[in-house]
Amino acid sequence: MTAREEGAPESGDVGLYRDMLLIRRFEEKAGQLYGMGLVGGFCHLYIGQEAVVTGMEAVAREGDQRITSYRGHGHMLAAGIDPGAIMAELLGRETGASRGKGGSMHMFSPEHGFWGGHGIVGAQVPIGAGIALAEKTRRTNNVTFVYFGDAAADQGQVAETYRLAALLSLPCLFVIENNSYPGPSAAPRGPQLLERARAYGIETAAVDGMDVRAVREAADVAALHVRAGKGPYAIEARTYRYRGHSMADPAKYRTREEASRVRATRDPIESLRERLLGEGAVTEEVLRAIDREVKDIVSAAADAAREAPAPEPEALHLHVTAEA
């Protein structure tokens, strides 16, 4: 695991519960602040998909790398980035992860192995392969987690990346987050998502992305494969986003009942909570304490973000490029 900061994930199944809850509460607060007009630009929430990144990150080790799309707040939290820095970035403040200049879709934290935050659908996938190539060249044993959506999986550059990753045997773990919606309006995808990766000889597995333990199990097999130098691996995590595509999407292409039904029967947090209680692994009291702790972290992050200053106008041209 990466170095954890305050409010960052713990190990163990109760830790998985806490990590998912932190993402849920953070996103709910982000949605509230957006509604108050405090978040500029686009904002895509991860609510409903928490088990995917939480299960994947449960097998990550120090030195591993990750890259994702514009729906990335959960990935940052799971990578151990300070919730305060993410919230401040959403509000465009100087204390934000990208010093208030990236916003929701463009946050970076190389010290956490987090390479964004990308607004162009699928663009992070070849960049992820480049990061994996750098790791292979340096002869590290690190895995690069490359997250993308079900619609992104159709991009030509994803197919090209599969080809190169297979050819060069890159230490790349592709994670297709099939949230049942390829963007704002189109119909859910069919079962062929992994076939393209298989066509290039890449090992694949599909997993219930609403079950964090199942995701962790699949992630463990995949990460061992990649770390053993056997080349890339692709996982399709079947999940569901509860909210609209972005805050601007009223989600009229599906019924309210559909989302309520998934929430009532497959919610990743509620189902783990019930299982932990049923197994006697945790008490209601401990879970209540976790709920309070997470709520406090998120409130503190929002309060600090609201009080933080905007970047100075003179800083506009700073930190836009980096010396390599």
Summarize as ranges the residues that interact with ligand TPP (CB under 6 A). Answer: 69, 71, 119-121, 149-152, 179, 181-183, 245
For the chain, give the secondary structure using H, E and C.
Answer: CCCCCCCCCCCCHHHHHHHHHHHHHHHHHHHHHHHCCCCCCCCCCCCCCHHHHHHHHCCCCCCCEEECCCCCHHHHHHCCCCHHHHHHHHCCCCCCCCCCCCCCCCCCEHHHCECCCCCCCCCHHHHHHHHHHHHHHCCCCCCEEEEEECCHHHCHHHHHHHHHHHHCCCCEEEEEEECCCCCCCCCCCCCCCCHHHHHCCCEEEEEECCCHHHHHHHHHHHHHHHHCCCCCEEEEEECCCCCCCCCCCCCCCCCHHHHHHHHHHHCHHHHHHHHHHHCCCCCHHHHHHHHHHHHHHHHHHHHHHHHCCCCCHHHHHCCCCCCC
Size of the site for Mg ion (CB under 5 A): 5
Q: Judged by CB under 5 A, does residue 69 bind Mg ion? A: no
Rounded Cα gap, residues 51 and 70, in angstroms: 18
- Min CB(274)–ligand TPP separation in Å: 27
Rounded Cα gap, residues 75 and 64, in angstroms: 13
**Of 250 and 313, which has the nearer Cβ to ligand TPP?**
250
**Of 196 and 295, which has the nearer Cβ to ligand TPP?**
196
Q: Could you say which of ligand TPP, Mg ion, none residue 316 binds, taking C-beta under 5 to 8 angstroms by partner kind?
A: none
Specify the residue for token string 């946050």.
107
**Of 98 and 239, which has the nearer Cβ to Mg ion?**
239
Q: Could you say which of Mg ion, ligand TPP, none residue 267 binds, taking C-beta under 5 to 8 angstroms by partner kind?
A: none
- Min CB(20)–ligand TPP separation in Å: 17
- Min CB(261)–ligand TPP separation in Å: 19
Q: Could you say which of ligand TPP, Mg ion, none residue 27 binds, taking C-beta under 5 to 8 angstroms by partner kind?
A: none
- Min CB(151)–ligand TPP separation in Å: 3
Q: Could you say which of Mg ion, ligand TPP, none residue 116 binds, taking C-beta under 5 to 8 angstroms by partner kind?
A: none
HSE toward the beta carbon, residue 146, CA cutoff 13 A: 29
- Min CB(182)–Mg ion separation in Å: 5
**Of 168 and 262, which has the nearer Cβ to ligand TPP?**
262
Q: Judged by CB under 5 A, does residue 124 bind Mg ion? A: no
Pair type for strands 172-178 and 203-208: unpaired
Which is it for the CA torsion 263, 189, 132, 223, positive or negative?
positive
**Of 238 and 273, which has the nearer Cβ to Mg ion?**
238
Between 166 and 185, how does the x/- string for binding to Mg ion read (CB under 5 A)?
Answer: -------------x-xx---
Q: Could you say which of ligand TPP, Mg ion, none residue 210 binds, taking C-beta under 5 to 8 angstroms by partner kind?
A: none
- Min CB(187)–ligand TPP separation in Å: 12
Report CA dihedral (61, 67, 69, 72) to the nearest 10 degrees.
40
**Of 9 and 149, which has the nearer Cβ to ligand TPP?**
149
- Min CB(125)–ligand TPP separation in Å: 10
Binds Mg ion (CB under 5 A): choice among 149, 171, 232, 268: 149
Q: Judged by CB under 5 A, does residue 150 bind Mg ion? A: yes
- Min CB(158)–ligand TPP separation in Å: 10
**Of 135 and 150, which has the nearer Cβ to Mg ion?**
150
Q: In the complex, which residues of this chain contact Mg ion (CB under 5 A)?
A: 149-150, 179, 181-182
